[in-house]
Copies of this chain bind each other. A is one copy, B any other.
Amino acid sequence: MKSTLFAVLAFTMVGANASHADDLTQAVNGWRSAHEPEIVGKLDALTRYKSIAADPPGLTAAATALEKELESRGFTADLLGSADAPPVVCASLTVPGAKRTVTFYAHYDGQPVTPSQWSSDPFDPVMRSGPLGADMPAVDWKHAKPPFDPEWRLFGRAVADDKTSIVAFLAAFDALKAIGRKPSVNIKVVWEGEEEAGSAHLAEILRANAAKLSSDLWLIGDAPVHQSRAPTLYFGARGMLGLEMTIYGPQRALHDGHYGNWAPNPAAMAAQLIAAMRGDDGSILIPGFVDGVRGLTQTERSALAHVPPTEGALEQQFGIAGSESKDGLYASLMRPALNIRGIRSGQVGAEAASAIPVDAVVSIDFRIVPDQTVAGVRAKFENFLLAQGWTIVSDAPDAATRRAHPRIVKLAWKGGYPALRSDMTSPAARAVIATASKAAGKPLVVLPMMGASVPIYFFAETFKVPVIGLPVVNHDDNQHAANENIRLQNLWDGIDTYASLMGELGW
């Protein structure tokens, strides 16, 4: 009961007491408004690195540039990792007299791109005067006088997810220095380059460098703020597990007049498999899948109950008539999810031939919640396939395998890490809530767990310290899709929050 009361009180008190920005934030804002072109210039330059999984040299170049940014600010910086993984940018700065050490995490890699779907080159950022509309012209920000219109948006891959967090961190650090404010905590930095590919090597790198990375708190600069645009903190994130399934039909495409409804159709088989594992309300029909899902605490339930409702506005924005689930948005996100990311089989449109396709490829991700494990989810899914008569292979089947088994599916699992919901009532948690509220000057949204995944489970598991999410970017940033963008006001707010947590946090 105590923790529930705390959560409720925190929101109410902050709302009542902090109606405008504090002194530190005012000073930071003053510096920022004079330096907007340089700050946007840094984000523009960072976005030009093609730091996506398909381009390993682009990832290394971005990491090297970030290492230099940190070194130029007095940090001891290093690139950690193995030959197989993009480097982890790691840095530390010891502040005389500071009692606590805080690690700031973000990732500099972006999601894959399908350039044909973008309105501009994903790696040649374009500023526009707002969200992408029919006739939204580009803004020549390089020749504009600051302060910039805070509703302007910069478009590019990874600009929001997560390069804005990185630039907010750097600008906040510069602002504190410019206004003569010493950080209140020792600062460590972990900027990862493999998050969008599932952070397959992160746990191993963290463990190998555990001593170097030890701290009292991790702050996670990933994910968007709440849809109300209110400053947001989150205390956990769903885990995830990627999967690509390939379902095999005839080894060459067959005329569907001569062989249709005799030769098996892999597109139809894929549809039937998807329908067997996912209900039309998004529920997961795989037997035992939700075993071991941990219930929410009273504090967590109370926090959820205080999330401002935005479903109606989102439905309007997304052009949908309603949700597929029966719950509200944030209640839905507390459950595991089975997302169909893509299906490819045969041809459609002008290329559609009347043929039975040779295969069907289905890209999936599972979002998992405490205390589901990656191994447990894999096992339950594979058992479900076996029970439905599927033969599981890991390479394309040879002729003998094709002849022997009527339902063959190739599984390629990708990445995978568990979820985290951390304690919302620890001293560090209380201090972060109080400091961020003070900087924001308005009520925070405090989420027990975010729907999206960041590999923060590893931090909690490896270092046994509080892990709190500190999102910055706008929710309508198109992250993971074409035309990803950052709204400038979110970058400005992010600088304020980072500056307050670097300059005033303590417990």
Contacts and interface: CB of A to CB of B under 8 A. Distances in A.
Contacts of A315: 403
A341 B256 contact: yes
Interface string A309-323: 000000110111111
A112 interface: yes
Interface string A331-365: 01101011111111111111111111100111101
A9 interface: no
A399 interface: yes
A252 B481 contact: yes
A379 interface: no
Interface stretch (A148-156, A176-184, A257-265): A257-265
Contacts of A352: 112, 242, 244, 341-342, 363
A80 B223 CA distance: 63
Contacts of A61: none
A411 interface: no
A469 interface: no
A429 interface: no
A482 interface: yes
A340 B244 contact: no
Number of copies of chain A assembled together: 2
Interface stretch (A42-50, A206-214, A272-280, A288-296): A272-280
Contacts of A275: 271-272, 274-276
Contacts of A111: 353-354
Nearest to A475: B258
Given A320-B249, A320-B250, A320-B263, A452 B258 contact: yes
Given A111-B354, A355-B481, A263 B339 contact: no
A282 interface: yes
Contact of A318 (B114, B224, B252, B350): B252
Contact of A479 (B255, B269, B282, B321): B255
A270 B325 contact: no
A188 interface: no
Nearest to A110: B353
A124 interface: no
A377 interface: no
Most buried by B among A251, A263, A338, A402: A263
A346 B344 CA distance: 8
A268 B278 contact: yes
B244 A349 contact: yes
B353 A480 contact: yes
A406 B323 CA distance: 8
Of the candidates A319, A327, A338, A483, the one having the most CB atoms from chain B within 10 angstroms of its own CB is A319
Given A244-B352, A343-B344, 12 more contacts: A111-B354, A252-B478, A260-B339, A261-B339, A263-B320, A265-B282, A268-B282, A271-B278, A272-B275, A342-B345, A354-B480, A355-B481
Interface of A: 53-54, 111-114, 223-224, 238, 240, 242, 244, 249-265, 267-276, 278, 280, 282, 315-316, 318-325, 327, 329, 332-333, 335, 337-357, 360-363, 365, 367, 399, 402-406, 450-453, 475, 478-483
25 contacts: A112-B352, A240-B354, A249-B320, A250-B320, A253-B482, A256-B337, A256-B480, A257-B451, A262-B329, A263-B324, A264-B320, A264-B323, A265-B282, A269-B280, A270-B343, A272-B275, A272-B278, A275-B276, A319-B399, A320-B403, A341-B346, A342-B348, A343-B344, A348-B363, A349-B361
